[in-house]
Amino acid sequence: MVASSSQLRVFKMGINTHQEPVVYMRGDCDVCLSEGFAASSRVGISSQGRSIIATLNISSDETVPKGYAGLSDIAIERLGVAPSDLVSVHHAPYIESLSLVRRKVFGHSLLPAEMARIVSDISAH
């Protein structure tokens, strides 16, 4: 399979980030530049029908090979990918339950179904 403009190959970083999926990309990465990603951005990563949201760290050196996305151990596990598999990297989807969280932060009450929606999204990572 040939990589598209939003795809990169998996590079196993071998970094345990506990339960926080992290992706490492080079600062000169075509995907990073074309999508306007910045350090600490939340990005979506998809492969073979599975997707996750990960925190982006940007490398300024040769830590990650050109054309690759370095993935933390938990990111690899949740995506079910192996080194050199293709992944698609894109802007993270909008999570609707975040507006419910903001509503609660500003002092509004939530219905039981709205609280269940927040818990469901958290459980789904």
> Residue 1: pLDDT above 50?
no
Helices then strands, counting H and E runs in the chain, come out as 4, 6
* pLDDT, averaged across the chain: 90
Angle, CA 17 vertex, CA 66 and CA 45 arms, to 5°: 50
CATH of domain 7-95: 2.40.40.20
- Kindly report, residue by residue over 20-73, the tens digit of the pLDDT: 999 999 999 999 899 999 999 999 999 999 999 999 999 987 899 999 999 999
Poorest-confidence range of 2-6, 59-63, 66-70, 85-89? 2-6
Domain boundaries of the chain, sorted by first residue = 7-95
> Across 1-125, where does the E strand assignment appear?
7-12, 22-26, 42-47, 50-59, 68-71, 86-91
Three-state DSSP class for residue 111: coil
